[in-house]
């Protein structure tokens, strides 16, 4: 289809021509003429299927460009997965163990009186997890916890189990004085903490470790 100035001029006739001045009609004609190359090619009209195909191809190119830009942004910001190697199973277990020891409290152990003496029961999941950990891995952390007044009872029980020490359960439980009152409440004198900490320190410094907790005489 060939568009000449006469046909373009007729497009501006009618109601629009009533309020458009001759000077204003010029840009309108130029805009209409500039749109024709997109609609026609060499005087022949492209089919609607061709236009849809071109629009689909153009959309795919834009999507690929956006994806490439997003990847470049992540690459430059250091967010690639390979920049953050996954932790090994051993590292995860060690971190969990350190977290459990840091959260350990004396209340994580419940005391019961039996016919053969006092029996400490691990009452929390973290205390049970520590007791199941390898001794050589968890004992150094418990050695630090034994000096904490809020942790020394639980640390003493766990150290006794993990070290395999020989001990008596009555009248003292491996050197710890336990008072189970009539109402079932357990009282343990906090002043015993520093004494037990020194005894465990003596045990830890000797190699091979003694079979019983030293310093009790």
Return d(Cα 125, Cα 144) in angstroms, integer: 20
Pair (109, 175) in one structural domain: yes
Q: 194 and 119, same structural domain?
A: yes
Cβ distance 165 to 124 under 8 Å? no
138 with 101: CB under 8 angstroms? Answer: yes
What is the distance between the alpha carbons of residues 147 and 138, in angstroms, rounded to a whole number? Answer: 15
Which pLDDT score, from 0 to 100, does residue 97 have? 86
Helical pair 152-163 and 135-145, crossing angle rounded to 10 deg: 150
CA dihedral 168, 170, 174, 179 (to 10 degrees): 170
- CA torsion angle for 167, 169, 174, 179 (degrees, to 10)? 180
Residues 20 and 96 in one domain: no
Residue 83 inside a domain? The answer is no
Same domain (yes/no): 27, 126: no
* Residue 34: predicted pLDDT: 46
| Domain's final residue, options 55, 77, 99 | 77
Q: Are residues 118 and 183 in the same domain?
A: yes
Q: In 3D, which of 179, 171, 175 has the Cα closest to residue 199?
A: 175
The list of the chain residues with pLDDT below 50 reads: 1-3, 5-12, 14-45, 80, 82
Is 187 domain-assigned?
yes
Query: Looking at the domain assignment, is residue 193 inside a domain?
Result: yes
> Nearest-5° angle of CA 21, CA 25, CA 30?
165
Predicted pLDDT of residue 201 = 96
Residue where a domain stops, chosen among 57, 77, 97: 77
pLDDT at 10: 47
pLDDT at residue 46, as a whole number: 52
Assess whether 103 and 190 both reside in one domain.
yes
Same domain, 67 and 133: no
Cis peptide before 21 (omega within 30 of 0): no
Q: Which of 45, 77, 109 is the last residue of a domain?
A: 77
Residue 74: per-residue pLDDT: 54
What is the SS3 string spanning 137-193? HHHHHHHHHCCCCCCHHHHHHHHHHHHCCCCCCCCCECCECCEECCCCCEECCCCHH
| Residue 99, in any domain of the structure | yes
What is the count of structural domains for the chain?
2
Instruction: Supply the pLDDT for residue 150.
Output: 97
Q: Is residue 50 part of a domain?
A: yes
Say whether both 11 and 56 belong to one domain: yes
pLDDT score of 217 = 59
Q: Is residue 82 situated within a structural domain?
A: no
> Is the domain of 66 the same as that of 124?
no
**126 near 100, Cβ under 8 Å?**
yes
Are 24 and 95 part of one and the same domain?
Answer: no
70 and 100, same domain (yes or no) = no
- Provide the residue range defining the domain that includes 176: 89-205
Q: Tell me if 212 is assigned to some domain.
A: no
> Are residues 105 and 140 both part of a single domain?
yes
CB 154 within 8 A of CB 106: yes
Query: Is 164 among the domain residues?
Result: yes
């Amino acid at each position: 289809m060939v568009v000449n100035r006469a046909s373009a001029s007729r497009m501006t006739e009618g109601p629009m021509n009533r309020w458009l001045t001759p000077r204003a009609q010029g840009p309108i004609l130029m805009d209409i003429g500039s749109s024709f190359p997109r609609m026609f090619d060499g005087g022949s009209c492209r089919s609607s299927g061709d236009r849809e195909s071109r629009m689909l191809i153009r959309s795919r190119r834009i999507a690929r460009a956006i994806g490439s830009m997003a990847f470049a942004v992540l690459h430059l910001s250091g967010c690639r997965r390979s920049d953050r190697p996954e932790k090994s199973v051993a590292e995860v277990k060690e971190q969990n163990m350190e977290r459990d020891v840091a959260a350990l409290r004396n209340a994580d152990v419940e005391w019961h009186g039996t016919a053969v003496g006092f029996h400490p029961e691990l009452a929390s999941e973290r205390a049970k997890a520590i007791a199941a950990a390898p001794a050589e891995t968890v004992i150094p952390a418990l050695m630090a916890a034994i000096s904490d007044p809020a942790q020394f009872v639980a640390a003493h029980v766990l150290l006794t189990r993990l070290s395999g020490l020989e001990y008596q359960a009555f009248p003292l439980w491996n050197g710890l004085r336990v008072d189970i009152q009539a109402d079932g409440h357990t009282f343990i004198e906090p002043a015993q903490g520093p004494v037990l900490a020194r005894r465990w320190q003596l045990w830890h410094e000797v190699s091979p470790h003694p079979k019983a907790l030293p310093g009790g005489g």
